[in-house]
Structure 1
Amino acid sequence: MAYFSNSRPQSSSSAIKIVNPADNEDKAKLHKRDSPQRQCRNILIHGYCRYQDRGCIYYHPPVETSNNPPRSESPTPPSLSAQAVNAPVFVPNAAFHAIATPPPTFAPSPSPSTFYQTHDEYDNYGDTISNHTPQLLEHQLVNQYQQVDYEDHDSPTGNFYQSQRATFVKQPLDYHLYSHPTPDAFPSTHFISDAVREELHKRSEASQLVTIPGHNLPDELQGYHSLAPLEPPVAERRKFFSWYSTVYRATSSNDGVVYALRRVENFRLMHQAAFGAIETWSRIEHPNIARVREAFTSRAFNDNSLVVAYDYYPNAQTLFEIHIKQKPPVFQHGRLSTVSTALPEATLWSYIIQIASSIKAVHEVGLAVRMIDATKIMVTGKNRIRIGSCGIADVLMYDPRLDTAMVQQEDLTMFGRLIFALCCNNLAAMNTLPKAIDMMGRQYSADVKTLALYLISKPGSHKNIVQVIDMIGTNRLVCEMDETHNSVNRLEAELMGELENGRLVRLLCKFGFINERPVFAREPRWSETGDRYIIKLFRDYVFHQVDENGNPVINLTHVLACLNKLDAGTDERIMLVSRDEQSCLVVSYKDVKACIDTAFGDLARASR
């Protein structure tokens, strides 16, 4: 502090002598101000001075000891002169907490005869406080005055300084948020919804899962690699017709796309013409059919295997797994309860319409589905189904004399069995037909029962897929089409949220090519001169802003707004300040865009 600058004999104090550089006049004033006859202000404020025996140069009145116990009421403060009243008030910049250690008791000292003429010696102390953070200041001051209780009314000046309220600096919240949360009434327009994003991430993760070792799978299979089983191992395997089959996920070496491979074990191909149906199936593109890509035989599994490649739909489940398979009981309302698997009628009609549409598409090309089974129809989205494993039956049960009309009638019968299985949650519902009809009549409308009975009726010329679609009804078909269009609208709205991302990424890539480039055209400071300097300042304006306390500003809204204005080239003007704050430029977004185009054009021409 400044009061240590007064000259005192070195024998009476061990304090370090700190002298501020000043002219002769200042030294004279300082000598006059630091008089040993002036009373120490610590006595006046706190009742005692902790530096009294450690070099304080001011006057300290003798302490009067008293054997009388202290009185409970506050003593009358001594009379103060006008100069003492106008003395500076010590105002801490941080909140103090009550100190549990009781302060020492000092008797009130008499009013000093000489008070401070000026208070310049506290100016340096105020500057020192302003250079510290409130948390550090609080820690230091509490340690320095840890024996002082500011709530002690027994102090001779307690009543006077009690009315002086401390001022506190409000610090910004230490939250790392991009921007304020958007109200529920205004959905985000910058990104897709969380539900869609989560679903897509799950599908992407399922497509890239690492193969678990221990399955003894081949490293390469006719241009496919990274094979991974999609079906969990079970004790009792279901047969595919008369053969066992397994489904794998594999990546094609030709295009890098992930496909689903269904392998039929121990199958020996007898007629090469059986693959002719696979070529026809590969040309069928329908939204409710898993497209067939190719088929081949292989001995990579140490047997004769038939492998058919289909489009892969991550996290897809079969109708059997979702609606028919028994679910384990869950703990609800304090007890275990079974999960209801009853299929809503609206969802059931949606499934019926989609399956009927796919059957119609297959029958029109002269083929039969032959795979209308709850274990082969996949649910790939919300109420979105696709028929899988198509074309395998044409290879496994190849017969050149096969009657196509007969197998198409079998498709309709299998369709009816599927409806009964979904309504009764039982694959063997047709084994007890009267009970299944009764259950269907109690849970669903008469139209569902009529359609199911028509599908399982005797084959005939009157029984075809066109008649089935007529029985479904125009109203339900129109409702299904409306729901499809609404779904498309929702997906387009989600896509609009990501539409600007590609444009902004291109801008960021241009920034990366230009900023901080070490050498170009034999110019080491190319990125720091000319138009590139404006680009650098704009980069700092967008990404390197700080608040009034020097903390970085992380505001994604500001970044997106600036990049959008830059890409549009608006005439709005902004002020760009250099990092040393010695120069500033007022430019428009249009000017910055022209600078970026010019600099990037120079780089593009040099790279050709």
Structure 2
Amino acid sequence: MHQTAFNAIEMWARVRHPNIVRVKEAFTTRSFADNSLIVAYDYHANAKTLYDEHIKPKVPTFQNGRLQAQTTVIPERVLWSYIIQLSGAISVIHDAGLAARMIDATKVLVTGKNRLRISSCGIVDVLMHDARQDVGMLQQEDLVMFGRLLFALCCNNLAAMNTLSKAVETLTRGYSSDIKNVALYLISKPGPHKTISQLIDMIGKNRLMAEMDEVQGSADRLESELTSELENGRLVRLLCKFGFINERPEFPRQPRWSETGDRYIIKLFRDYVFHQVDENGNPVVNLSHVLTCLNKLDCGTEERIMLVSRDEQSCLVVSYKEVKSCIEGAFSDLARPSR
């Protein structure tokens, strides 16, 4: 394959959009006993196609003692979200002077909850690099393919467009006139005024703002989950430092290094957090107590606690800040390279 065939891939590699599976590179290989074309894309784990998610027949389930087929009707709010996401992706593609040419239920991926990404971009451009085709007409075909996809989703049938009148009737029964108008506009004849920008105007600012609100709400939820995981990571680092310091057999040439100096305070604190017992001598297994102590230690609060030795012959009153300083100092000693 001539090198000029990969010029389109270079253009696609520069296209960045959250609803497009990014093209990484393309090359040919003989590793499969033929002259194969390999196109590499970003990997999205557990992604499904729109066909698998909504159109593919589901396994019948038992309901009320009978075997009943499962039907999946896409809620109109979700359908508008799909339309907005795909419109944004197509707009970026067209602005880059390209055409998607792969807007199909088997090529659009669902990579998260109601999150779409157009995949397989650039493959047709490489395979048909010799054919001179007008980009404007290809972009018009994108809109028609978008319309066909919309009818397929609304009618739960890939071949819905084979009988247009029946498809329109099915769509009208299940969805609003605005959805129908968008679908009919997309499959209408090509013209100078038929553009993706015109489609975005048809969607309306209210729906676009609602989609933006959903996106920001989703970002807030993810940030909240990330914050929780970050907190867990901080506590794990503390526990790792405990593991490095406590009960260390010898360092440096001191058999009782972990039992003396500041390390003794760390040992007593470990017992305070994990080895408490109740009045009957039973172990206290209180995860809330452990998390509270570790969080206070991580913050280095001025709150003071009493640490009692196992033989109850000595006790120390120290703050969490002082314990944290002891841990940092002991860990620094361990991390310092020997000379």
TM-score (norm 2): 0.96
CA distance in 1, matches of 2:260, 2:156: 74
Counterpart of 1:472?
A: 203
Q: Does 1:452 align with 2:173?
A: no
Residue by residue over 1:350-386, the C-alpha shift from the partner in whole angstroms, topping out at 9 and shown as x without a partner, is 1111110000011111111000000101111111111
> Gapped runs of 5+ residues in structure 1?
1-268
Task: Write the letter of the residue equivalent to 1:356.
Answer: S
Which of 54, 57, 73 is residue 326 of structure 1 equivalent to? 57
Alignment partner, residue 119 of structure 2: 388
Superposition deviation, residue 607 in structure 1: 4.9
SS in 1 for 2:212: helix
Q: Residue type of the partner of 1:432? A: T
Q: What CA RMSD, in Å, does the superposition of the two structures yield over aligned residues?
A: 1.5
- What's the counterpart of residue 487 of structure 1? 218
Distance in 2 between residues matched to 1:403 and 1:509, nearest whole Å: 62
Letter in 1 for 2:79: L
Query: What residue identity is the alignment partner of 1:474?
Result: K
> Alpha carbons of 1:322 and 1:594: their partners in 2 closer, same or farther (altered >3 Å)?
closer
Instruction: Output aligned runs, 1:396-415, within 5 Å.
Output: 396-399=127-130, 401-415=132-146
Task: Specify the code of the residue in structure 2 equivalent to 1:314.
Answer: A
Match of 2:147 in 1: 416
Deviation at residue 446 of structure 1 after TM alignment: 1.0
Q: Aligned partners of 2:53, 2:328: CA distance in 1, in Å?
A: 55
Q: Which of 511, 514, 518 is the matching residue for 2:242?
A: 511
2:67 is aligned with 1:336: yes
SS state at 1:296 partner: strand
Aligned counterpart, 1:360: 91
| Shift of residue 591, structure 1, vs aligned partner | 2.0
- The counterpart of 1:605, out of the listed 333, 336, 339, is 336
* Mapped partners of 1:544, 1:282: distance in 2: 57
* Bigger helix fraction: 2
State how far apart, in whole Å, the 2-side matches of 1:601 and 1:468 are: 62
Report the counterpart of residue 583 of structure 1 in structure 2.
314
| Structure 2 gap ranges (5+) | none
Runs of 4+ more than 6 Å apart: none
Match of residue 430 from structure 1 = 161
| 2: CA distance, partners of 1:568 / 1:323 | 48
Shift in Å, 1:547: 2.3
Q: Deviations over 1:78-128 (max 9, x none)?
A: xxxxxxxxxxxxxxxxxxxxxxxxxxxxxxxxxxxxxxxxxxxxxxxxxxx
CA distance in 2, matches of 1:391, 1:285: 14
Aligned partner letter, 2:205? T
Using structure 1 for the length normalisation, give the TM-score.
0.54
Deviation readout 1:49-81 (Å, 9 max, x if unpaired) = xxxxxxxxxxxxxxxxxxxxxxxxxxxxxxxxx
Give the residue type in structure 2 aligned to 1:398. Answer: H
In 2, the alpha carbon distance for the partners of 1:449 and 1:561 equals: 57
* Pair 1:595-2:326 in alignment: yes
2:174 corresponds, among 443, 452, 456, to: 443
Render the CA deviation track for 1:2-35: whole Å, top value 9, x for unaligned. xxxxxxxxxxxxxxxxxxxxxxxxxxxxxxxxxx
Give the fraction of aligned pairs with identical amino acids, expressed as a percent: 72
Q: Which amino acid aligns with 1:427?
A: L
1:400-452 per-position Cα deviation (integer Å, ceiling 9, x unaligned): 63211111111011011111111111111111111111111121111111111
- 3-state DSSP of counterpart to 1:306: strand
Task: Tell me what 1:461 maps to.
Answer: 192
Does the alignment pair 1:371 with 2:110? no
Q: Tell me how many residue pairs correspond in the alignment.
A: 339
Secondary structure of 1:308's counterpart equals: strand
Higher relative contact order (CA 8 A, sep 6+): 2
| In the alignment, structure 1 residue 277 sits paired with structure 2 residue 8 | yes
Q: What's the CA shift string for 1:471-520, capped at 9, x where partnerless?
A: 11111111111111111111112222222122222222222222122222
Give 1:541 deviation, angstroms. Answer: 1.0
Which has the higher Rg, Structure 1 or Structure 2?
1
Matched, 1:542 2:296: no
**Aligned AA (2:156):** N
Matches of residues 127-276 of structure 1 in structure 2 within 5 Å?
A: 269=1, 271-276=2-7
The Cα offsets for residues 258-289 of structure 1, whole Å up to 9 and x where unpaired, read as xxxxxxxxxxx3x2211111111112121111
CA distance in structure 2 between the aligned counterparts of 1:330 and 1:602, rounded to whole angstroms: 63
C-alpha spacing 1:400/1:433, structure 2 compared with 1 (3 Å):
closer
AA in 2 matched with 1:568: C
**Residue type at the aligned position of 1:544:** H
Distance in 1, matches of 2:253 and 2:72, equals 73
Letter of the 2:29 partner, please give it: S
Deviation at 1:603, TM superposition (A): 2.5
1:290 to 21, 38, 56: 21
Q: CA deviation at 1:583?
A: 2.0
